[in-house]
Amino acid sequence: MSERISYDDEVGKEADIRSGPSSNRQVNPTLQQEQPYPHQHQVHKVGVPAKQNLFKEFRATVKETFFSDEPLRPFKDQTKRRKFVLGLEALFPILRWARDYNLTKFRGDLIAGLTIASLCIPQDLGYAKLANLPGQNGLYSSFVPPLVYAFMGSSRDIAIGPVAVVSLLLGTMVQDEVDPTKNAHDYLRLTLTATFFAGVTQLTLGFFRLGFLIDFLSHASIVGFMGGAAITIALQQLKGLLGVKIFTKKTDIVSVMRSVITAAHHGWNWQTILIGVSFLAFLLLTKYIGKKKTKLFWVPAIAPLISVIVSTFFVYITRADKEGVAIVSKIRKGINPASADLIHFTGDNVIKGFRIGVVAGMIALTEAIAIGRTFAGMKDYQLDGNKEMVALGTMNIIGSLTSCYVATGSFSRSAVNYMAGCHTAVSNIIMSLVVLLTLELITPLFKYTPNAILASIIISAVIGLIDFEAMKLIWKIDKLDFVACMGAFFGVVFISVEIGLLIAVSISFAKILLQVTRPRTALLGKLPRTNVYRNILQYPNATQIPGILIIRVDSAIYFSNSNYIKERILRWVTDEEEQLKQKSLPKIEHLIVEMSPVTDIDTSGIHALEELYRSLQKREIELALANPGTVVMDKIHASEFVELIGKGKIFLSVADAILTFAPHHEEP
């Protein structure tokens, strides 16, 4: 019996912990009294929390919501000078870890930086094309943003630059407003405006510590969205891979395939197909080698650059461009030009840029935080999500002023960065310096680079975004999650990127609403030879006590679900009464509601309990509550609900209630 009391005590403590800071919690001394005899049971009174100061309670709630990580703890009891230094280190983490930087770490960062630079240069050219921008804008976005992030970011492993999904999203949404071929200048202006507002969105979320908002987009939705986007991106590359000149601007699979098939007889170019398919096979082979032998991670990392060099040389010496092979043509030489004067701060385009920027910024943020957390977990260090948002937002704002479009964390580059042995964000600095040299010296050499090679590089890069294993796992774990995953996937593939994203967000919110408005309830029974009460569906050998019905509510009770909970409990009672009547067993005399999972209750919840009590009174059934937590006890006392049902009807545990209502069932 002492074992059962220990279990109940832990439940009570856990309920108190959930209710707020330890300084505001009171422990009932009766809970600490050990039972003198293991087979005797004493009914304990439920502790009534002391009245809390309203201001302190509000402050504790705000602190737990926005400052649960206690960001100001390091500043406590420090001198003004030390606080200033700590503030600078919080804003620029490089000042903290640079003190311990050494040659060994630099060697690892140098190798990693050079490796990811060889990967990013060809990818940037392809991703810029995906965003309907000149190739130099892709390179610009791997020069300035990584430098800013290196000083402000807290991740050691994340590699910054343009990514496929955000490039496609940005290109699709901006294209709906401005035609990139007929009005390239206005298209660039709107893209830079969207990038500016993407950065503002990210910075705002981080500054006001609203990082928890991105968690509303579920993992399942992200998996589906990324998978659908990967297929859409790959389909878009058929234009470059097959040499199709007239191609649809729509992204759905039906429009793309119709466009490809229509051009089959007159629009395909066999030289382009030969180049594209050959190098795609080479890139996929190197990816396979890198997966099989992790020590050869550098093989798939440098394969894109090798492909660009070889294919460019081949086109140049054969002059295949005169045979219909589309080439990159001229890429502007020199570092990022200032672009503050190109951003729209007035007029109708501000609203358009803001709308596109918010969407692109949120997706970029979600991807970067997910990547950062993944590698932080692998290396066992903490990643501050809010600081990451500030860093990402700042780099995109500065990027928009220097001709960059939305940059974020790239999973493929970050994985290479990690495997290459990076130690700090210096690898991002090395990468950006290599891009700087490329912009200053090498860009004219990309003139004869075939578009087909960029298409094959993008296809090989995005294949990894289709995570079949994750989809199978989602199906096994949660069917509703799988619906969200597939909704996002098919929405992107068959309609558009924006609709797929909207479906993903809608299903995620629908799931939250469903769980909040329709919480689970369970019928409890007693496990044999114990005083533990558990769900009879999970434990079929658990027995119900004659004349007593025990129901557990597995959620806080709010206005959104209070009526449902009341009706669901009454339905349990009705169903049980019908079964008892058929079996000629004693009717229900007591209903015990197990409330340990109920973390909170509001006015509507109290009213629902009052209505439940009155309904049960008409059926001659007594209502009792078991193990309500601190917050719940405080509110039901304030509402005088305790006086309504009687102080003797609130128990520390279900076992205590059973001991009162049916004492012979508590005997071993």
Burial environment of residue 137 by CB neighbours within 10 A (0 to 12, 13 to 18, 19 or more): buried
| Per-residue pLDDT tens digits for 447-490 | 899 999 999 999 999 988 899 999 999 999 998 889 989 999 99
601 DSSP assignment: B
Mean pLDDT confidence for 359-371: 91
pLDDT of residue 76: 81
Reported as a pLDDT band with limits 50, 70 and 90, residue 378 is confident
| Residues 40/1, Cβ–Cβ less than 8 Å | yes
Cα–Cα dist 405/566, whole Å: 53
Is the pLDDT reported for residue 191 higher than 70?
yes
Residue 9 has pLDDT above 50, yes or no: no
Of the candidate ranges 62-76, 169-183, 408-422, 631-645, the one whose mean pLDDT is the lowest: 62-76
- The H-or-E segment that residue 550 falls in is strand 548-553
pLDDT at 43 over 70: no
CA distance 389 to 620: 58
Q: Which of 203, 140, 191, 127 is nearest to 412 (CA)?
A: 127
With residue 594 as reference, give the H or E element that holds it: strand 590-594
Per the CB < 8 A criterion, the answer to whether 650 and 618 are in contact is no
| 194-214 per-position pLDDT tens digit | 999 999 999 999 998 887 777
pLDDT class for 624, splitting at 50, 70, 90?
Answer: very high
- Per-residue confidence (pLDDT) for residue 361, from 0 to 100: 94
Which residue do the tokens 């035609």 mark? Answer: 179
> What would the two tokens of residue 263 be?
């051009």
d(CA 229, CA 216): 20
- pLDDT digit string (tens) for 134-168? 999 999 999 999 999 999 999 999 999 999 999 99
Per-residue model confidence as pLDDT tens digits over 391-405: 999 999 999 999 999
Length of the chain measured in residues: 668
State the Cα–Cα distance between residues 626 and 648, nearest whole angstrom. 11
Q: How confident is the model at residue 593 (pLDDT cuts 50, 70, 90)?
A: very high
Q: How far apart are CA 451 and CA 129, in angstroms?
A: 9
Helix (H, G, I), strand (E, B) or coil at 153: coil
Of 45-54, 120-129, 375-384, 491-500, least confident by mean pLDDT is 45-54
230-264 pLDDT, tens per residue?
Answer: 999 999 999 999 888 888 888 889 999 998 888 87
Beta bridge partners of 526: 533, 543
What φ, ψ does residue 559 adopt, rounded to 5°?
Answer: -55, -30
Distance CA 394, CA 150 (A): 12
Q: For the sheet containing 521-526, what is the strand order? A: 533-535, 521-526, 548-553, 590-594, 622-626, 650-651
The β-bridge partners of 18 are: none
Burial of residue 31 (CB within 10 Å: 0-12, 13-18, 19+) is middle
Tokens of 336: 């990022």
pLDDT at 117: 94
Instruction: Report the first-to-last Cα separation within the chain, whole angstroms.
Output: 9
Of residues 316 and 24, more confidence is placed in 316
Question: Residue-wise over 506-525: b if at least 16 C-beta within 10 A, else e?
Answer: ebbeebeeeeebebebbbbb
The answer to whether residues 60 and 24 touch, using CB atoms and an 8 Å cutoff, is yes
On whether the CB atoms of residues 546 and 535 are closer than 8 A, the answer is: no
Query: Are residues 534 and 570 in contact, defined by beta-carbon separation less than 8 angstroms?
Result: no
Q: What is the DSSP string of 56-101?
A: HHHHHHHHHHH-TT-TTGGGTT--HHHHHHHHHHHH-THHHHGGG-
CB contact at 8 A, 26 and 49: yes
Supply the pLDDT for residue 14: 38
Burial group, residue 89, by CB count within 10 angstroms (0-12, 13-18, 19+): middle
217 vs 483, 505, 510, CA distance in Å? 14, 6, 11
Q: How far apart are CA 205 and CA 213, in angstroms?
A: 8
**Which of 65-79, 172-186, 202-216, 311-325 is predicted with the least confidence, judged by mean pLDDT?**
65-79
pLDDT at position 63 over 70:
no
What's the mean pLDDT in 558-573? 95
Report the C-alpha gap between 37 and 162 in whole angstroms: 69
Q: How many CB atoms lie within 10 A of CB 604?
A: 15
Provide the 8-state DSSP code for 161: E
Neighbours of 472 (CB within 10 A): 11
Element (H, E) at 666: none
Pairing of strands 622-626, 590-594: parallel
| Residue 115 · residue 416 · CB < 8 Å | yes
Question: Residues 135, 330: contact at Cβ < 8 Å?
Answer: no
pLDDT of residue 324: 82
